[in-house]
Amino acid sequence: MSLLPYLDVGLALLIVGVAVWIIAARDLFASVVSYVAYGLLLAFVWIRLYAPDVALTEAAVGGGVTGVLLITAGKRLGALKSIAPEAQPGLAFKLLIGVLAALVAGALGAVIMMLPDPPPSLAPEAAAAAAGAGAGLGNPITAVLISYRSFDTMLEKIVLILAVVGVWSVGTDKAWGDTPAPFRRPKPYAPMVFLAQMLAPIGALIGIHIFWVGANAPGGAFQGGALLAAMWMVTMMARLVEPPRVDAQWLRLALVAGPAVFLIAGLAGEVVAGSFFAYPPGLAKPIILVIEAFMLVSITAALPMLVAGPPSERSEQ
């Protein structure tokens, strides 16, 4: 008689409960804060699914960085007190949508109960990729990301850049080239400066450690980059470093470095190893390491820019 099933069911109920609260809460900010808690609970489920890599990504990106993004948005929107209470949909409409949503969830649930047996799996191919082209990578997920499905990973980095471009382009013309707004404080505040000074070096160390062990253990450029990005944001919030102007050359170079290096390596594979994104055997590990290092730089640069939002003009004083 094990306690584990009860724990799993309890956890599942808790997650669904928090999700219901996100949807049902009257207050906008309560809903946003619950979402941060929800991201944390999801990390748990991923541990139970034997996916520590995903748990780490969920904790860092899903819970941490997204949480700050949403809290910033929620607080700023909540400050707009002029909002008239919007017309809520009527009860009949809500009921109808409820039935529709329940049907969709039920259908999905039925599909889940009827998944094919034996389950299809790409694991053998991924294992081959880890042993072949991604030589020397003990972590199969890193092997998949960087070798077996390398094209996906590169395009995903390009999506990040496109998102940064999208966010920046929402700003006003007058503010173009200036720094993003949310990290500006009037004055440094001692306890926050202390916290940032203690946290940032340790955090940078941990971020690089997680990036480095990613070859063989849970971790990698995504997770390490997200932690480094979080630490950069903390130092900016404490006014230890100034946020960069969005037209700064080094910032743009850092943003593009990851996908650019990835693309060059991919094209070089066509010439050297005979196919696009093939790595020459023997050199695979160092090449992958270089690509990952530049991706780390790009992720670290992109995430804070996405959270900070478009550039906005400094108020003239």
Partner 1 sequence: MTPSVLAGLVGAALVGLGLYGLIIHPHPLRKLLAFNLIGSGVFLVFGLVARRGAAAGFAFDPVPQAMVITGIVVAFAASAVAVALILRLAVEAGRVTLDPEAWSRPKGEDAK
Partner 2 sequence: MIELLDLFCFAAISAGTFFFFAGTVGLLRFPDSLTRMHALAKADNLGLGLVALGLILRADSALSALKLIVIWALVLLSGASTAQLIGRALRRGRK
Partner 3 sequence: MSELLFLAAGLIVLTVAVGLARILRGSDDVERLMAVQLLGTGGIAALLLIAYATNVPGVEDVALGLALLAAFATIAFINLIDAEQGDIEA
Query: Which of the residues 181 through 200 are near partner 2 (CB under 8 A)?
Result: 189, 191-192, 194-195, 198-199
Tokens 């949508």 belong to which residue? 97
State the first-to-last Cα distance of the chain, in angstroms, to the nearest integer.
Answer: 69
Cβ atoms of residues 146 and 137 within 8 Å? yes
Q: Is 89 in the site for partner 1 (CB under 8 A)?
A: yes
Q: Which of residues 275-304 bind partner 2 (CB under 8 A)?
A: none
Q: Which one, 114 or 187, has the nearer CB to partner 3?
A: 187
- Cβ-contact 65, 230 below 8 angstroms: yes
Total residues binding partner 2 (CB under 8 A):
9
Rounded to the nearest 10°, the torsion over CA 214, 43, 59, 254 is 50
Q: How far is the CB of 206 from partner 1 (least distance, A)?
A: 18
Q: Judged by CB, which is closer to partner 2: 189, or 276?
A: 189
Among residues 20, 248, 253, 290, which is the contact residue for partner 1, using CB under 8 A?
Answer: 20
Using the minimum distance from each CB to partner 2, give the nearer residue, 92 or 187. 187
Among 1, 2, 3, 86, contact with partner 1 (rule: CB under 8 A): 86
Strands (E), 161-254: none
What type of residue is 151? F
Q: Contact, 215 vs 142, CB < 8 A?
A: yes
| Helix axis angle, 221-237 to 190-213, nearest 10° | 170
The region, left, alpha or beta by phi > 0 then psi within -120 to 50, assigned to residue 99 is alpha
Specify the 3-state DSSP secondary structure of 157: helix
What does the block give as tokens for 130?
């880890």
Q: What is the smallest separation between the CB atom of 81 and partner 2, expressed in angstroms?
A: 16
Task: Let me know how long the chain is.
Answer: 317
Are the C-beta atoms of 213 and 138 separated by less than 8 Å? no
Q: Does the protein bind partner 1 through residue 91 (CB under 8 A)? A: no
Among the candidate windows 97-105, 246-254, 259-267, 275-283, which touches partner 1 by CB under 8 A?
Answer: 97-105
Indicate which single residue of 2, 3, 82, 282 sits in contact with partner 1 (rule: CB under 8 A). Answer: 82
| Residue of 87, 92, 114, 271 interacting with partner 1 (CB under 8 A) | 87
Closest CA to 141 of 52, 62, 46: 52
Would you give the binding string for partner 1 spanning residues 196-235, x where CB under 8 A is met? ------------------------x-x-------------
- Among 19, 217, 263, 293, the residue binding partner 1 under the rule CB under 8 A is 19
* Greatest alpha-carbon span in the chain: 69
Helix, coil or strand: residue 279: coil
CA–CA distance, 139 with 42 (Å, rounded to integer): 22
CA dist 33 and 38 (Å) reads: 9
Binding site for partner 3 (CB under 8 A): 2-4, 6-7, 10-11, 14, 18, 21, 25, 27, 29-30, 33-34, 36-37, 40-41, 43-44, 47-48, 50, 52, 55-56, 59-60, 63-64, 67-68, 71-72, 75-76, 79, 182-187, 189, 192, 195-196, 199, 202-203, 206, 209-210, 213, 217-219, 223, 227, 230-231, 233-234, 237-238
User: Among 30, 37, 69, 268, which residue interacts with partner 1 (rule: CB under 8 A)?
Assistant: 69
- Is residue 202 a contact residue for partner 2 (CB under 8 A)? yes
Q: List residues binding partner 2 (CB under 8 A).
A: 189, 191-192, 194-195, 198-199, 202, 206
